[in-house]
Amino acid sequence: DGGITQSPKYLFRKEGQNVTLSCEQNLNHDAMYWYRQDPGQGLRLIYYSQIVNDFQKGDIAEGYSVSREKKESFPLTVTSAQKNPTAFYLCASSREWGSSYNEQFFGPGTRLTVL
């Protein structure tokens, strides 16, 4: 079945450590996204990628980095510069960039906790 996988489901990190969250899709989608979700808040966009080898900062990119070396993969690194990284992270994809008609498909999420 086609879909988006994220791993791990739960992740614990010590302060000062970088950590990488995995996101893989087999939907053949061009565009991919990373969101952060905090309790009682909506989703906030961290980074997005329209196509392979291209990515753009979203609304809250500070302290995060991404890469898009393959169409199906869009890993997110949470660096030690991110001041409050404990959150639920969601990866999404959509078929193509530039059309507001395309829905975004979401992965199951990774819950990151900084100890």
User: What is the binding site for other proteins (CB under 8 A)?
Assistant: 4, 6, 31, 40-43, 45, 48, 58, 90, 92, 94, 97-109
For the bound state, the minimum distance from the C-beta of residue 38 to other proteins, rounded and expressed in Å, comes to 10
Contact in structure between 36 and 43 (CB atoms under 8 Å): yes
Q: How far separated are the first and last CA of the chain, in Å rounded?
A: 36
Integer Cα distance of 95 and 112 in angstroms: 27
101 versus 115: smaller Cβ distance to other proteins: 101
Distance from chain centroid for Cα 55? 12
For the bound state, the minimum distance from the C-beta of residue 15 to other proteins, rounded and expressed in Å, comes to 25
Structure tokens at 41: 């808040």
14 versus 101: smaller Cβ distance to other proteins: 101
2 versus 42: smaller Cβ distance to other proteins: 42
For the bound state, the minimum distance from the C-beta of residue 88 to other proteins, rounded and expressed in Å, comes to 9
